[in-house]
């Protein structure tokens, strides 16, 4: 990654640089390489953004840093808290004015932070509000990490402070498809899980994908996080409608990719997310088809009551239908918890806050061109 820039360019955001890149930058500013460790500590342990207060750094180095670099943060343009369960949702604004949602879901004295990876999304899943928003751009690694740093600021959750909230889990399940912004997501996760920094356990990081098949096995090779698949249908006929990505990577290819992933990460149980949609995907026949589909995979299911948004074309399954569906999965030996609907009163399903502020239109499916990220890997195995 080029970390030295011409004088007239915009400042370099130190957030989003891997440790090795920080060393390159540090030496390019005529400081000793070990100063990069000190910088890293200020950024990720202390949450400091003002170079002048990084008192163990030489004054000349601090001056150069303040002339050429920033420690970036998104601005919070709106905060909503669910009265029902204290789920927090923030609309985070970046310097170019673009915004994404970040959601914090507390449980006892810990909590899960749901991060966005793109502004809008190309995949247009029909049950998803973000899917109505045309992709504007990918988030940079700095912008993905910045969501966590900003929430740490909000809760004063830095290692030297008396933290009242604990960010124990990170899920890439907010706006956008993480595997279509692969390189930036991987860089961000490597920073978040770095043992000398925020040190989020890789076992407590989950990447969720709608099924970008060529990237799934690669993810398994690169980082030891959890994999979550947005499944949501038992047949190609239904999934083609709910999730247009299925036309490119149908269920057989998706299951093959999951098996390939488990061959790399054989201890890792895959989670299949399944939104319960009344009369669409919630029959007993659907449940039995799911059992046949995942035969041989080490996996579990999360059954999610549909968090209905204004104008949504679907309704949530009845409690009876959800219970019968779960029972068939459980009787077949799979864990299948029915998730509590969190943050319903603040529309915590992805994209719903941002959409209230979004000025563009979603665009038709044919306008939503998307490509698999260009990374150096042999992906031909799963491409249809
Ligand atoms: S569910 Fe995920 S992949 Fe599908 S449209 Fe929404 S943000 Fe995109």
**3-class DSSP assignment, residue 148:** helix
> Nearest CA to 202 among 210, 190, 212, 188?
190
- Contact present, 218 and 379 (Cβ < 8 Å): yes
Is there a single domain that holds both residue 65 and residue 80? no
Q: Please give the distance, rounded to the nearest whole angstrom, from the Cα atom of residue 121 to the centre of ligand 1.
A: 6
Is there a single domain that holds both residue 256 and residue 218? yes
Is there a single domain that holds both residue 41 and residue 79? no
Q: Can you give the CATH number for the domain in which 31 is found?
A: 1.10.150.530
70-127 pLDDT, tens per residue? 999 999 999 988 767 778 899 999 999 999 999 998 887 778 999 999 999 999 999 8
Q: Please give the distance, rounded to the nearest whole angstrom, from the Cα atom of residue 200 to the centre of ligand 1.
A: 25
Of the listed ranges 25-34, 46-55, 216-225, the least confidently predicted one is: 216-225
Report the atom number in ligand 1 closest to the C-alpha of 129: 6
Does residue 358 have a pLDDT over 70?
no
State how beta strands 205-209 and 167-172 pair: parallel
CA atoms within 13 A on the CB side of 64: 13
According to DSSP, residue 338 is labeled B
* pLDDT: which is higher, 207 or 384: 207
φ and ψ of 294, to 5 deg: -95, 10
**Which H or E run includes 172?**
strand 167-172
Residues tagged active-site: 101, 350
Report the atom number in ligand 1 closest to the C-alpha of 118: 7
Taking the C-alpha atoms of residue 88 and residue 192, their distance in angstroms, rounded to an integer, is 20
Which two tokens mark 228?
A: 């979550």
Is there a single domain that holds both residue 52 and residue 88? no
Task: Supply the pLDDT for residue 361.
Answer: 34
Q: Please give the distance, rounded to the nearest whole angstrom, from the Cα atom of residue 241 to the centre of ligand 1.
A: 14
Please indicate, yes or no, if residue 373 is contained in any of the structural domains: no
Instruction: Please give the residue range of the domain that contains residue 306.
Output: 75-366
Q: Which of 240, 350, 353, 372 maximizes ligand 1 atoms within 8 Å of its Cβ, making it the mutation to test the pocket? A: 350
Q: Which of 124, 131, 233 maximizes ligand 1 atoms within 8 Å of its Cβ, making it the mutation to test the pocket? A: 131
- Contact present, 121 and 177 (Cβ < 8 Å): yes
- Total count of domains within the chain: 2
Task: Supply the pLDDT for residue 293.
Answer: 97
Please indicate, yes or no, if residue 232 is contained in any of the structural domains: yes
Q: Can you give the CATH number for the domain in which 116 is found?
A: 3.20.20.70
298-311 pLDDT, tens per residue? 999 999 998 877 78
Does residue 369 have a pLDDT over 70?
no
According to DSSP, residue 181 is labeled G
140-190 pLDDT, tens per residue? 999 999 999 999 999 888 866 555 557 889 999 999 999 999 999 999 999
Counting beta carbons within 10 angstroms of the beta carbon of residue 50, is it exposed (0 to 12), middle (13 to 18) or buried (19 or more)? exposed
Is there a single domain that holds both residue 152 and residue 271? yes
CA atoms within 13 A on the CB side of 376: 0
φ and ψ of 369, to 5 deg: -70, 140
Does residue 239 have a pLDDT over 50?
yes
* Cβ of residue 175 lying under 6 Å from some atom of ligand 1: yes
Taking the C-alpha atoms of residue 337 and residue 5, their distance in angstroms, rounded to an integer, is 50
Please indicate, yes or no, if residue 2 is contained in any of the structural domains: no
Q: Please give the distance, rounded to the nearest whole angstrom, from the Cα atom of residue 236 to the centre of ligand 1.
A: 18
Is there a single domain that holds both residue 114 and residue 88? yes
Does residue 368 have a pLDDT over 50?
no
127-139 pLDDT, tens per residue? 888 878 889 999 9
18-30 pLDDT, tens per residue? 999 999 999 999 9
Distances, alpha carbon 120 to alpha carbons 16, 186, 359, in Å: 21, 19, 12
* pLDDT: which is higher, 129 or 332: 332
Please indicate, yes or no, if residue 4 is contained in any of the structural domains: no
Taking the C-alpha atoms of residue 203 and residue 67, their distance in angstroms, rounded to an integer, is 38
Taking the C-alpha atoms of residue 115 and residue 287, their distance in angstroms, rounded to an integer, is 30
Reported confidence tier of residue 355, pLDDT bands at 50, 70, 90: very low
* % of the chain beyond a pLDDT of 90: 67
Taking the C-alpha atoms of residue 179 and residue 191, their distance in angstroms, rounded to an integer, is 17
State how beta strands 12-13 and 69-70 pair: parallel
Does residue 261 have a pLDDT over 70?
yes
- Identify the residue whose C-alpha is closest to ligand 1 atom 7: 176
Taking the C-alpha atoms of residue 154 and residue 329, their distance in angstroms, rounded to an integer, is 40
| Residue carrying structure tokens 């994404």 | 100
């Amino acid at each position: 990654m080029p970390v030295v820039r011409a004088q007239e360019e915009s400042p370099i955001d130190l957030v989003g640089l891997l440790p090795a890149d920080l060393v390159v930058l540090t030496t390019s500013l005529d400081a000793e390489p070990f100063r990069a460790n000190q910088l890293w500590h200020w950024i990720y342990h202390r949450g400091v953004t003002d170079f002048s207060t990084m008192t163990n750094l030489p004054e000349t180095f601090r001056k150069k840093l303040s002339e050429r670099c920033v420690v970036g943060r998104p601005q919070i343009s709106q905060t909503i808290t669910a009265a029902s369960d204290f789920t927090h949702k923030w609309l985070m604004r970046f310097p170019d004015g673009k915004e994404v949602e970040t959601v914090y879901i507390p449980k006892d004295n810990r909590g899960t932070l749901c991060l966005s990876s793109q502004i809008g999304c190309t995949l247009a899943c029909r049950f998803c509000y973000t899917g109505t928003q045309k992709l504007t751009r990918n988030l940079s690694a700095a912008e993905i990490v910045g969501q966590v740093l900003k929430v740490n600021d909000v809760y004063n959750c830095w290692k030297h402070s008396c933290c009242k909230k604990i960010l124990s889990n990170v899920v890439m399940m907010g706006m956008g498809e993480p595997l279509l912004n692969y390189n930036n997501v991987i860089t961000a996760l490597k920073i978040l899980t770095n043992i000398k920094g925020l040190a989020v356990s890789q076992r407590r990081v989950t990447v969720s994908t709608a099924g970008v098949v060529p990237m799934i096995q690669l993810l398994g090779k690169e980082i030891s996080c959890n994999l979550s698949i947005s499944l949501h249908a038992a047949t190609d006929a239904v999934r083609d409608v709910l999730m247009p990505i299925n036309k490119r990577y149908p269920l057989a290819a998706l299951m093959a990719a999951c098996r390939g992933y488990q061959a790399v990460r054989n201890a890792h149980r895959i989670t299949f997310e399944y939104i319960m949609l009344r009369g669409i995907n919630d029959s007993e026949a659907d449940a039995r088809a799911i059992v046949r589909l995942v035969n041989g995979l080490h996996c579990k299911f999360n059954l999610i009551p549909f968090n209905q948004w204004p104008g949504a074309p679907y309704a949530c399954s009845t409690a009876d239908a959800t219970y019968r569906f779960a029972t068939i999965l459980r009787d077949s030996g799979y864990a299948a918890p029915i998730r509590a609907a969190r943050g319903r009163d603040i529309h915590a399903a992805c994209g719903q806050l941002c959409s209230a502020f979004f000025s563009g239109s979603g665009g038709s499916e044919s306008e939503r061109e998307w490509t698999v990220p260009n990374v150096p890997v042999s992906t031909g195995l799963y491409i249809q």
